[in-house]
Structure 1
Amino acid sequence: MPKKPQEMKPSTAAAKLDVYLPATPEEFRAGMVTRDELAALQADPPAWLTDLRRNGPHPRNVVAARLRVSTSGLARAGVTEALTTEEINALIAEPPEWLERERQTFEEVRREERRIAARDADRRATQP
């Protein structure tokens, strides 16, 4: 008996594709997505997927990455909606005060994470 292909919810597939689920076509949102279908979308993205990735609207994790802030930083700033590439570029071109502050906070957190990782690696290297 052939194995049933593994399926995932459209929300999971959208997250794996880094796209905003409400902006995807109805056919994508309507049914389950198999691992093979997901792999095919990743290997040879259709026009709708290419367009969504290029122009948005983008999910919060993508918006945060493009702005170089955390998703928590977006929430603190009151950015709860998906943003388009154009909106993200406008924020980058003329960064508001909250964006500058959140970028600084994000960089401090990353610097501390790197320091702790280096410290832990040194400890592991010196243990017998």
Structure 2
Amino acid sequence: MSQKTPQSMKPATAAKKLGVYLPATPAEFQEGPITRAALDELMNEPPEWLVALRQNGPHPRPVVAQKLNVSISGLARGGVEEALTTEQINALLADRPQWLQNERASMAAVRAEEARVRDAAAQKAAEGRAGSR
């Protein structure tokens, strides 16, 4: 029986799964493929560099968008094209520029509509179950 090779992924994929900005990771992380076992180890017992990177950044755009409570498209509309540090994100939250206020309101409206649609679908499903008895 042949020996199975461990499943591996590109550093960019591993960085995305870890929620970190690849250019800010150590060179040894960026240089070669990451095995699934190595990724699991990083997730379960993060080294100091990973803890610091998650805490202080720079953060990738999806993390920045989440922390600002806007969409990734909203970041682009606001002119945020690069990774931001936690300090920069906190400064934006403190200053609340107009674009951020607009994008947060837009995100809130989208989430409210998604909740309304979800509730309507659940109501319709409940009515369907009650009617089939």
Please tell me the TM-score bracket, short chain as reference.
over 0.9
Aligned to 1:77: 78
1:65 aligns with 2:66: yes
1:40 aligns with 2:41: yes
1:26 aligns with 2:27: yes
Letter of the 1:87 counterpart: Q
Letter of the 1:89 counterpart: N
Letter of the 2:16 counterpart: A
Q: 5+ residue gaps in structure 2?
A: none
1:107 aligns with 2:111: no
Distance in 2 of aligned mates of 1:30 and 1:97:
41
Letter of the 1:79 counterpart: V
Secondary structure, in 3 states, of the residue corresponding to 2:3? coil
Q: 5+ residue gaps in structure 1?
A: none
User: 1:71-115 CA distances to partner (integer Å, 9 max, x unpaired)?
Assistant: 110011111000000000001111101101100000000000011
Aligned to 1:94: 95
What is the 5 A alignment of 1:8-27? Answer: 8-27=9-28
Distance in 2 of aligned mates of 1:71 and 1:122:
31
Number of residues of Structure 1 aligned to a counterpart in Structure 2: 128
Distance in 2 of aligned mates of 1:101 and 1:36:
42
Tell me the TM-score normalised to structure 1 length. 0.97
Letter of the 1:113 counterpart: E
Deviation at 1:123, TM superposition (A): 1.6
Distance in 1 of aligned mates of 2:125 and 2:15:
38
Moved more, 34-43 or 116-125: 116-125
Aligned to 2:121: 120
Q: Give the share of equivalent positions with the same residue, in percent.
A: 57
Secondary structure, in 3 states, of the residue corresponding to 1:19? coil
CA root-mean-square deviation:
0.8
Letter of the 1:49 counterpart: L
Distance in 2 of aligned mates of 1:114 and 1:3:
45
Tell me the TM-score normalised to structure 2 length. 0.93
Deviation at 1:120, TM superposition (A): 1.0
Deviation at 1:124, TM superposition (A): 1.8
